[in-house]
Structure 1
């Protein structure tokens, strides 16, 4: 069984998805709401899958001072998970350790694999709402025969990175992280398999790629990431002439 670690920040205005605030019609508060929606869809997908959910939160002492509030980061994310999951007691919450995303992801993966002896661990940022239950279960199957399984995203990033044994994680999630992770896996003697490409939302370009997929699924009455699709629908976010607009 794969432990899926969602490396999550509290969904606070200005802290999360700052690029969207500068380059799209979304306000800082709306960007935080979108981030919360993608997190909720990720939590729910892991809960429904055969994996175990670990909410790996960034504690307040690792947040920029201007984003520390009277509500603890852990409490905020526990509340979000409680609103989303059928049984929040089945989810595990642990704080991140490390000064960079690579360090935090590496520390979590290495601890679970070496100290707790789990069979496999996966790291996700929780910003790719099409990381659904079937994708997570497909990744778990691939991890039975491969030591590293990666879900490619746009701009050389990943939305899912799964391992059955550690690799060298130093700066592994910086730059073209997909290539770096493949190289680190090769250095560790791992066989590597891939998942379908899905968009991880961080920039306006990412949102432009995601919106037509969400609307297409809505219009075709197919399965959608519930919370992300509700946010998109309620705010009327569309792509028109290559630009993100608020329709109506």
Structure 2
């Protein structure tokens, strides 16, 4: 009876983590699609030759694009929360670190969204001004640079969080190790590239490609296959596959 209860608990936990893997996979894919769509819309408006007029004419579209990015804030926090119990089985410090850096990442994305939305009233003031002395355009430019800094810092913290989770994936064998190594390399490139962008180098987001492709691939992988192992710490036997001890012989 005791063995049946233990097996039932393991199966229940495995099923729960299987659902978690699917949800995390969906968040990876949804975040990628939403981020790309939001970026395309924002750049199409803010990179126009007459930026102030473009913002005034497309203020609703810009707000929608900013709100799309706001959805990724919820996704980033959800990543940290969902992965916490899984990572904690292998390293509590790594689990806390991943959650913490995901929250920091989400915070700077939220700041970026607020700065983007602030462009709308600035452009509105410029459109009703009788004369333009360039001060509002200058303020808009400052906000654009602030937006880029917030995004680069968010990507930097994403790189740190990605290195943490991929290291646990590698050590705990939660994913095939070649996939974990790909993730480590991709997030290391994101980390270094984001640091360069903060320092003033314009990499045109090329440094995000390896990690972005990994997130798309791993999103599909988690939805289809989930994690390889879930119980215990690295190197410990998997509870789900450890046979129950044989009963002791009875003495008549």
- TM-score (normalised: structure 1): 0.29
More strand by share: 1
More helix by share: 2
Larger Rg: 2
- TM-score (normalised: structure 2): 0.29
